[in-house]
Amino acid sequence: MPISTLDPVAALVLIDLQRGIVSPPSVPISGPEAVARGKELADAFRAAGLPVVLVNVSFAADFADLPKGRDEESLAEEGDDELPPPGYDVIVDELGAQDTDIRVTKHQWGAFHGTDLDTQLRRRGVTQIVLAGLTTSRGVDTTGREAYAHNYNVAFVTDAMADRDPVDHEHTVERVFPQIGERTTTAEVVDLLKK
């Protein structure tokens, strides 16, 4: 179903289009394809005079600030001490970041918890966020849930996001997103911004 409308003050929020997350394989599109569509969206938002938010995830060099909650996946990976390479948290150059873009560094899956994202959006009168990026079932989904809980209208650009697992991606897009927002495509959003 196409998006019903874009609010007069909508913001594009691009999740984790950074070196260490864009590189690994993803589905249904590659990381570089997600970046290309993210750039198309960002260019359209900038041309319309609307905010663009670039979100990355980063941790201290020794990862002492990683979330401490116990989960089954972490327990299964105990002993895996491999740290991401330097620069893993840098937004990719191909996105064409601008000085006017809002930068948010998160330390969780979602972009609201522990950041000033809500403050940055509210100061600009934003009532809707348009989400894209990586990965669908973690960063994008969690940020979408947080945005919904903060009473923003949420639009998910489903052809500008990807995941590591096709089942996780499909479940999130088909079952979760319709409950907390509207699904749309890059072309639909760009067309609405031109009106």
* pLDDT at residue 86, as a whole number: 82
- The answer for residues whose C-beta is within 8 angstroms of residue 56's C-beta and 6 or more apart is 16, 17, 18, 89, 90, 91, 103, 104, 105, 106
* pLDDT at residue 75, as a whole number: 45
Structure tokens at 24: 């690994």
CA 114, CA 108: separation in Å to the nearest integer?
8
Q: Which helix (H) or strand (E) holds 21?
A: helix 19-22
CA 115, CA 96: separation in Å to the nearest integer?
23
Tell me if the pTM is above 0.85: yes
From the first residue on, what is the mean pLDDT of each consecutive set of 10 residues in the chain (195 residues)? 91 97 94 98 98 92 67 55 78 97 96 97 98 97 98 98 97 98 98 92
Is 3.40.50.850 the CATH number for 10-59+89-194? yes
Least Cα distance to 55 among 147, 117, 98 occurs for 117
CA 153, CA 183: separation in Å to the nearest integer?
12
Query: 33 φ, ψ to 5°?
Result: -65, -40
Q: At what angle do helices 186-194 and 31-47 cross, to 10 degrees?
A: 10
Number of Cβ within 10 Å of residue 20's Cβ equals: 17
CA 175, CA 15: separation in Å to the nearest integer?
20
CA 153, CA 133: separation in Å to the nearest integer?
18
CB-CB contact of 29 with 166 (8 Å)? no
